[in-house]
Each structure stands twice: as structure tokens, then as C-alpha cells.
Amino acid sequence: MKTIRVGSRESRLAVIQSQMAIDAIHRYDPSIPVELVTMKTTGDIILDRTLDKIGGKGLFVKELDAALLDGRVDITVHSSKDLPMEIDPRLPLAAFSRRADPRDVLVLPEGVSEIDFSKPIGCSSLRRQLQLKKLFPQASLAPIRGNVLTRLQKLDRGEYSALVLAGAGLIRLGLENRISRYFSTEEILPAAGQAILAVQTRQDMETPWLSLFEDADARDCLTAERAYVRTLDGGCSSPVAAYATVSQDTLTLKGMYVTGEQQLYFETVTGPRSQADALGSELALNMRRKYL
């Protein structure tokens, strides 16, 4: 039986997330041999500049895409929010995990219970920064790069007063105890795809063994969210946010639009989940017409 080689970034969180896909393959058929292949991406190596200065989110997938294309790996596992909006048609997204907790969270230094506003809050995402300014107008914000564990070390060394991170990553790392506060999706609208894992493969590859990984609700929500961001031409440096939920056959999508003057607007669209892609595009076009 052919071994399925799973490509992953080297970080502890990336390996844990890849293991979730491997576990789903083994639930489908315990006899399938699976091998984990880890590698560093450009985004993991260049840590002294923000992503918008070095090429955007594609830097987290470039090496993994190359490994897929040349056959060194058969599938790759990604955090959906780290995927570029345009996907190489030779490397389709094959399956999506059930969404974990989508909320952003506040993390304070160990043993601390209040934010020290004399130090900056560590946060590289412009999406988060703009929404945090409304919540904490007295705070200063500073970019921070590196994997979750590296960021926590910088926080605990006293370089920052707090961090804002995706709660799902901390929970998957077993670091839920570090979460000081959950921000509701009304307070901070999540990034498109936040808390959903995506498996990418080659165009010619059949993947029945991913059937227990696949979640239909996550697929429809992510389709709407990515359509919204893509229609707005939102890349890594664009402060956009989109969050969808489904209830039976109905999908509700909330989007954030930011004007050139950094004024934030939020609107919602509801419709049939079978029209997820069209709903995302419709909301983006409506908001652009209204606020551009």
C-alpha cells in the first residue's frame, strides 16, 4: 500500500494540526501508512519584517506547494487563514476540518492579571490592530512575528504588555490556561478561515481517506469568507475580516470593510448555504459600493 506523505511546517502547532489530519486518515483505515514530512517556509525564516513587507501569506505555503508539485509530499495541512486567496489550480483544497473556536484572545504575561498600558500589545495583523484600537484606545500596538511559542517567550520576557492571538491555536497547543480573555466575534471579527484547517493536494489525486476529516459546515463558511475577501482583493496587508455561520440550510456572513481613512464598517448578508460563494461576493460588492 502506498505511503501517504503529509507535508507540514516545522512549528509545534503546525505538526499538531497535521497530526489531526493523520489521525482522521487512520480512523478511515488504520492500515494506511502515513509519513509526516516537515519543512521550514520562507515565512518561518524571515522574522524581522512584517508579512506585507516580504510578500504576504503565500510565504507560508510556497515551499509546501513546491513539495506537492514535485511529488515529495502527497498532501499538505494549513491553517485556512494563512492561505493566499488565489490557489494554484494544480493544487486544489481537498478537505476542511470542523471549525474550532474562531475567537481571538488576549494573553497576558504569566502571573499578570491586568494590561500594563506602558508597554505595547503585540499584534501584527492590521485587522486586529484596527479593532483593538476601538476596544483599548489608550493602548499602543506593536508588530510581533514568530510562532506561538516564540511570541509567548517574548511576552513573558517583558517585551509586550499582552498578545492577541487566535484562540484555536493556543487550545490545540494545550495552552488554554494562558488565555486571559476571549474577545467575542462582535468585539473582534475573525480572519477569513480562522480555526479551520485545510488540506491541499494535487489535482489528479483521489482522497477518499480524508472523508472523516471533511466538515461540510466549515467548507461552506470558508467558501463564503474567502469569496468576500477575494472580491475585495484583500491580501495579507489588507485589513479585512469575514466570519460565517450556518444553521440548517441558511448561511450568515458578516464582513468588515475598511476605508482609506481607516474607518471600519460591518455588514451582514444571509442566504442559502448552497450560494456561499455568491453571498461572499455580493456582500463585498455591496460594501465597496456603499463605502468606497
Catalytic residues: 82
Q: What cell was used for 226? A: 474567502
Query: Per DSSP, what are the bridge partners of residue 39?
Result: 9
Q: How many CB atoms lie within 10 A of CB 172?
A: 21
| 221/99 Cα distance (integer angstroms) | 9
| 219/235 Cα distance (integer angstroms) | 20
Q: What cell was used for 102? A: 474562531
Strands (E) located in the chain:
4-9, 34-39, 75-79, 93-96, 104-107, 121-122, 141-142, 162-166, 179-182, 197-201, 241-247, 250-258, 264-272
Three-class secondary structure of residue 79 per DSSP: strand
| 186/131 Cα distance (integer angstroms) | 10
The DSSP call for residue 59 is: G
- Cβ 60 vs Cβ 82: under 8 Å: yes
Q: What cell was used for 48? A: 524581522
